[in-house]
Amino acid sequence: MQKETSIDHALRATWQAVAKMYNEQASKHDSTMATAFVLLNIDYENGTPSTALGPQMGMEPTSLSRILKTMEENGAIYREKNPEDGRSVLIKLTDYGKEMRKISKESVLIFNEKIRAHISEEKINNFFEVTEKINNLISERLIFNTIERKAV
Amino acid sequence: MQKETSIDHALRATWQAVAKMYNEQASKHDSTMATAFVLLNIDYENGTPSTALGPQMGMEPTSLSRILKTMEENGAIYREKNPEDGRSVLIKLTDYGKEMRKISKESVLIFNEKIRAHISEEKINNFFEVTEKINNLISERLIFNTIERKAV
């Protein structure tokens, strides 16, 4: 692989490689990474309020509702009135959805275990420290909210 | 920020935060991160063959041609017959495109400099080592191409 020259490029290229790999893995089960990701965010036993899913996943409402519609058609989820809040709807897993969720979870576990088997715990912890720091610098708006240099 | 529990989640969340930040920054110039990314991949003086851009950027041809069409309409790029290969087309920057490219490059530099100002060189190098290792393990198909455990 080409040597990474910038932090954003390393993040983008690595996340895209992971996403491509997860999509290939999901396609073996006629699914997609996005579907697997939704499955993993639905509470196994109690379901999850539809309004909580988007924020929890960092996903746009329109993308999410498109995926939920497909998943409902495929019989992986169903909607149920929330017993604790009549105005909201719970997204719950069908038995098929529960099976698919287990497969998705297993793929995530395998990926993380394989990576950890090849990289020392110290380096992994350092990696988490760096990604957390980047997230904090961005969320605290410390990157671009100062006076910017003029474009050269 | 919530403590990251898995490597894929840390990558996804951090890349999404970077992408959101770059899109906000690009929108100040009525642009998008995708446009900025294309600008940065076009050779400043000589332009770049249209067929080389997609593979170079890891972008799907349909997404790329949609963006190129918009950029041509906005006057950031133009197409020219490749003098070295009559069948191919060069994507070249207009003067406006060159200005926009400088602004994009400056944003990338600022981001990388700000991150490096807050994280030691040793930790940054360790971060690159980990992302490169993940990329290699994926491209060598060492994650899922072994016998998989049954889903529990």
Interchain contact B44–A (C-beta under 8 A): no
pLDDT for residue B36 is more than 90? yes
What is the pLDDT at residue A3?
Answer: 46
Contacts with B, A 73-112, CB within 8 Å: 99, 102-103, 105-108, 110-112
Mean pLDDT of B20-31: 95
Average pLDDT of chain B to the nearest whole number: 91
Note the pTM of the prediction, 2 decimals: 0.86
C-alpha dihedral, A144 to A148 to A151 to A152, nearest 10°:
-120
Q: What is the ipTM of this complex?
A: 0.87
Q: Which residues pair with A110 in a beta bridge?
A: none
Mean pLDDT of B29-58: 94
Residue of B nearest to A6 (CA): B112
Confidence of residue A88 (pLDDT cuts 50, 70, 90): confident
**Percentage of residues of chain B with pLDDT beyond 90:** 80
What is the pLDDT at residue B1?
Answer: 38
Chain A / chain B CB contacts < 8 angstroms: 180
**Percentage of residues of chain B with pLDDT beyond 70:** 93
pLDDT for residue B3 is more than 50? no
Confidence of residue A84 (pLDDT cuts 50, 70, 90): confident
Mean pLDDT of A79-108: 94
**Percentage of residues of chain A with pLDDT beyond 70:** 93
Q: Does domain A7-118 have CATH number 1.10.10.10?
A: yes
**Which among B23, B53, B35, B54 is positioned nearest to B96, based on CA atoms?**
B35
Q: What is the pLDDT of residues B45-60, one digit of tens each?
A: 999 999 999 999 888 8
What is the pLDDT at residue B146?
Answer: 54
Interchain contact A56–B (C-beta under 8 A): no
What is the pLDDT at residue B88?
Answer: 86
Confidence of residue A85 (pLDDT cuts 50, 70, 90): confident
**Which among A20, A65, A75, A18 is positioned nearest to A38, based on CA atoms?**
A65
pLDDT for residue A6 is more than 50? yes
Confidence of residue A146 (pLDDT cuts 50, 70, 90): low
pLDDT for residue A4 is more than 50? no
Cβ separation A106–B136 shorter than 8 A: no
Q: What is the pLDDT of residues B102-136, one digit of tens each?
A: 999 999 999 999 999 999 999 999 999 999 999 99
Mean pLDDT of B11-27: 95
pLDDT for residue B148 is more than 80? no
Structure tokens belonging to residue A98: 């529960």
pLDDT for residue B150 is more than 60? no
First to last CA, chain A: 31
B-chain CB neighbours of A14 within 8 Å are 11, 15, 131, 134-135
DSSP code string of chain A:
-PPP-SHHHHHHHHHHHHHHHHHHHHHTTT--HHHHHHHHTS-TTT-EEHHHHHHHHT--HHHHHHHHHHHHHTTSEEEEE-TT-TTSEEEEE-HHHHHHHHHHHHHHHHHHHHHHHHS-HHHHHHHHHHHHHHHHHHHTTTTTSSPPPPP-
> CATH code for B7-139?
1.10.10.10
Structure tokens belonging to residue B118: 């807050």
